[in-house]
Structure 1
């Protein structure tokens, strides 16, 4: 009997995927091998369909996100409510447990409470109540510094403290009255001192006024005396100036006396600030020395011109030699360039022969149309 295999969901999905890929490949091939769309423009309907698909996908994604967000909000609210209920239940259970413990499990109802009672020492009576109670030497019940009559002694101390406070209040009142009397006496003394100070200030102002008048009169006398002294000094200065001008006009410097410029250090030496110029004999000697210096300078310039001409001749000879060497170097470079040109032409000829050999002998297997037809048959 022939057994037929029934297609399941996986087979149907695989068949749908293959059909979808085949349709996509056909559409892709139609777009790629369409020369008009490839060279002129793109497939606008296909792009519009892609845009619509992308938009639908984004809207679906947005709807899913909104649904997920709303579900998350509902879950969060439900979790908050459940958490609040759980906290309230735990609080109620804790309150009931505490009430049960306070009512039926008190510490004082336990058998061993007398062992754990924190106030057991407070409830016990002391071995002795008063300092006069007889105790043995080895009982360790009476120590130096203990005071069992502390409460009674404290009352006595409080009464004594109140008495002291009352005494201090009375003493403070008496001291305050004494202070007020002292302040009143002090104010009276201050008033008397102020009155005395006012009288002294009046006397001092009057004395200062009298001293000011005396100083004014003294200063006026000094001004008058100073004016008279300035007049005398001015007259004396005018007389001195006239005498100085006369002495200058009649001095050897302005009269240009040649004898006053002679120095005591030698007959050929002169005093600079008294010197008035050279005489005729000194001028003749000066002009003769100046002519000798001019002749020496001319001889020096002639020697320098001669040396400069010699240097110019040497520089020209060096320049001619350099030009000759440059011409020789250029000739050598041209020879080398010509040799390189000949070698390059020979190498180019050899290269052409080699290419011709490869083209005609080595690479003679030309591809046919069948070889190119196998390309560009699919979109991948």
Structure 2
């Protein structure tokens, strides 16, 4: 009366177990400090980049392999389709011939009995005696079949003419194909000859270019040799002229007047010294230089004495400033030491008050201490 064998629905239990397993896995990830990583994992990212590149390369190789496989399969499929088409046509021809041999026999035609005695016709056997046959059973009448041999001969001649025409057409097509192949072969030969001629002309042009380049290089070399010869002769001429000028000039005669020359447009008595002919200064010029050098020495000593006095004044000023700085630093250290002593006293007072407060909390206020079970309720879930 009542159905008590209903199937138990365990989907809720499965869902609960799945959530519990997910919660356990999440807690293992969150509370495991050795496996938890803060920030970016560069090695993992680089590994992911390398894996992505490898995956893309493998996908490209797979696509190329698939393309080659598709091309091969298309070729095989086309060849298979062609073979199937040829086989289907052969099967149709066989079926047609078989149908003609079975369904369209000459002895099964309606006028087969009329062609019994004709050439090539099959004999018919009539089991009924002729005495029992009436006029309605007559099959061959006198006067029928006149001119059948001529008609058959005419049909055979027509068939021969048709076959001869087909054979001539086939021979004509073969001759045309042979002529086309011959013309194509001649055209290829002419193209090859043209290519050989063009290669020969190109080689001739290259050879002419090389000859022209060699001639140009020889001309340039000869021109360079001629320029070097002229330059060498010019330098030799200039050197000889310079030697001749040195020998015949006043530089080797040691003439004092040869080293001085009047300045154009200048006052009289101020000659210009020619450095290439000068032989030294006079005693008056030497004395003037010594006197000027002595004056410069005295001026340098005076300036050094002034600089020395200035440095001594600056040293004294720095020493006074250093003493003042040391005095201020000493006062600041004493003040800092006093502040540190006061701070130590204040910290000691705070520590004493803190100890008293801790003693009050531990001995007076909080007498019920929590057990280990109280602390285990925290951080027990990942949510």
TM-score (norm 2): 0.32
CA radius of gyration, larger in: 1
